[in-house]
Amino acid sequence: MKFIKNNQTIVLIVLINVLSFVFICLPFLQSSKFLVADQIGHVFATTYMRDHLLPDISGWNPFQNLGYPQGSHYPPLVQYLVAIISYVLKFDITDIYKWLIVITLLS
């Protein structure tokens, strides 16, 4: 009890993180409604990067926008990170994107 009184701010931040994880992040992770708005394009670009462009950061993507140099006009760090995690750990790309969003929300 003395620890809680001395560190009320820390306890409050931890409590807010736990509650937001339980009530916001868990339903988001369990939801299958992730591919809405522009997420479809991000997932496809990451899939193309994993299957055709790795280990290069950029290259020609002929499937979107009648072809464009992927990785040179849009910051490719997140797509590159998700593609590497998906390639190494064999996880689904949408699940990795969901976990990155959750980690961002909780940080």
Q: Are 34 and 94 in contact (CB under 8 A)?
A: yes
- Bridge partners of 59? 70
Q: How far apart are CA 52 and CA 32, in angstroms?
A: 26
pTM for the full predicted model: 0.73
Q: Per-residue pLDDT tens for 15-66?
A: 888 888 888 878 878 877 777 777 888 888 889 999 988 888 788 989 888 8
User: At 60, which helix (H) or strand (E)?
Assistant: strand 59-61
Helices of type H across 1-107:
2-6, 8-20, 26-30, 39-48, 77-89, 93-106
pLDDT tens for residues 59-86? 898 988 888 888 888 788 888 899 999 9
